[in-house]
Structure 1
Amino acid sequence: MNIFQQREQILADLIEACKDHDEDKTNHLLNQLTELDKSAEQKPLPEEPKERGFYVTANDGLLLLKDDDDDWSARTYDNSAKCIWNGGRQYAKWPEVCAQLPPEAFPLKRVNTGSDDD
């Protein structure tokens, strides 16, 4: 579960605790949210690959493309862009890629397509 999913779950639980007027649970969840944010700020991002081209994630082989503008997109079997980034966007910068993918997706592995465009 990535940090955004963890935050979503805590917020959903927090809403329920507020509806139930459960002050102890509300305070506990607020503390969890604060600690989650602290740990995210302290954790360095994985190193971004420098070269443009195709990469696969280490855990599930998701195909990603780094383009000339250093934007990342996820690719599907028909080579169309898949909108997986926060907000349903097609392209993302490296910090968003790191936030959306689980830690086990890194390091990314470069794919040699056999083309001079790699």
Structure 2
Amino acid sequence: MNIFQQREKIIEDLIAACKDHDEEKTNHLLNQLTELDKPAEQKPLPEEPKERGFYATANDGLLLLKDSDDDWSARTRCDLANPIWNGDRQYAKWPTVCETLPPEAFPLKRVNTGDGNDD
């Protein structure tokens, strides 16, 4: 679930809590919304994997590649015509990876390709 979907769900729940006059739930949801909306620079980034190679996201198994320049590229669900990174780039640095993928995508899991040359 991306940040927009998370916001939408919290707002739906917040409306229901307000209609039910549930002050405790309303305050809890407002806190969740505030936390979600904190600027990315205020939240620590997930730790970047050190090794080059293939990684899968924890939530949906999106395959990513960290190359020798420490650039990241998505290897599935996109191609050169449809990159996933902000700014429609094929490659991204770690901060862009973190801001583009949802929090549940982390930590990334190292993928063993079985060819003996995973980097």
Deviations 1:6-48 (A, max 9, x none): 8xx9xxxxxxxxxxxxxxxxxxxxxx99x93x44222100000
The aligned amino acid for 2:72 is W
Match of 2:28 in 1: none
- Equivalenced residue count is 89
CA distance in 1, matches of 2:76, 2:58: 16
Shift of 1:64: 0.2
TM-score, length of structure 1 as denominator length? 0.65
Q: Which portions of structure 1, spanning 4 or more consecutive aligned residues, are displaced by more than 4 angstroms?
A: 79-82
Paired residue secondary structure (1:47): coil
The aligned amino acid for 1:89 is R
Query: Quick one: structure 1 residues 52 and 76, their matched pair in 2 at CA, closer, same or farther if it must change by over 3 Å?
Result: same
Contact 2:40/2:99 (CA < 8 Å) preserved in 1?
Answer: no
Aligned-residue Cα RMSD (Å) equals 2.7
CA distance in 2, matches of 1:49, 1:63: 14
Shift of 1:80: 5.3
CA distance in 1, matches of 2:117, 2:67: 11
CA distance in 1, matches of 2:40, 2:104: 16
TM-score, length of structure 2 as denominator length? 0.64
Query: Quick one: structure 1 residues 116 and 102, their matched pair in 2 at CA, closer, same or farther if it must change by over 3 Å?
Result: same
Query: Quick one: structure 1 residues 83 and 114, their matched pair in 2 at CA, closer, same or farther if it must change by over 3 Å?
Result: same
Match of 1:116 in 2: 116
CA distance in 2, matches of 1:67, 1:41: 25
Q: Are 2:71 and 1:71 equivalent residues in the alignment?
A: yes
Give matches, 1:15-34, under 5 Å. none
Could you tell me which runs of 5 or more consecutive residues in structure 1 were left unpaired when the two chains were aligned: 10-31
CA distance in 2, matches of 1:39, 1:86: 16
Paired residue secondary structure (1:86): coil
